[in-house]
A and B are shown apart, each in its own frame.
Chain A
Amino acid sequence: NAGVTQTPKFQVLKTGQSMTLQCAQDMNHNSMYWYRQDPGMGLRLIYYSASEGTTDKGEVPNGYNVSRLNKREFSLRLESAAPSQTSVYFCASSLPRQSSGNTIYFGEGSWLTVV
């Protein structure tokens, strides 16, 4: 049981390049999330998927696209990377339940630098 797995762990991009961050969870969770965390800052929600086939914008969606490929996988794409997108990206998942709450489980993070 690996939990939430995201790749790559480190990436350096040139301005204007595109890339996709991959994320998969093996906990049978319905909800999946992408957050970014800038140095010394909090977690800001980029996109959210409540279930397979649905996605919703978070606080900072501009410059990103997402795909909920199936229940397990939720990818984040940067179409034309900008230096302002240099950050640590966390994928996460949860299974909201009235009986037990909505604990979020995070991946280990992807460190992205755009030069």
Chain B
Amino acid sequence: GENVEQHPSTLSVQEGDSAVIKCTYSDSASNYFPWYKQELGKRPQLIIDIRSNVGEKKDQRIAVTLNKTAKHFSLHITETQPEDSAVYFCAPTSWGKLQFGAGTQVVVTP
């Protein structure tokens, strides 16, 4: 099965700075790379995803980059705001059962 690792496990950033979270996976057959955000007490929700034939995707202040050769993809958040404080999960998959990384707790301090 897929072995998924996320780094760092916690990330504290000043409001306005950038945050980067890296997800490393083991299954070379993985071809779909999403990031989910979970606010305290709520359900996880998709924030951005990328397919294996694309190297980068942006959506306003968030972006995802993929390095299939090295088997990792990263979430980039620019101009962080307090509402970006949450736990972020990656879930690389090859269409089978999805397994999530352990999560990264992001805290944005004013």
Contact = CB atoms under 8 A, between A and B. Distances in A.
Q: Chain B interface mostly helix, strand, loop or mixed? A: loop
A109 B32 contact: no
Interface string B76-106: 0000000000000101010111111111000
Interface range on chain A: under 10, 10 to 19, 20 to 34, or 35 or more? Answer: 20 to 34
B32 A42 contact: no
Interface in A71-115: 90, 94, 96, 98, 101-104, 106-109
B89 A58 contact: no
A59 B99 contact: yes
B43 A106 contact: yes
Contacts of B91: 104
A109 B38 CA distance: 12
A107 B22 CA distance: 26
B49 A101 contact: yes
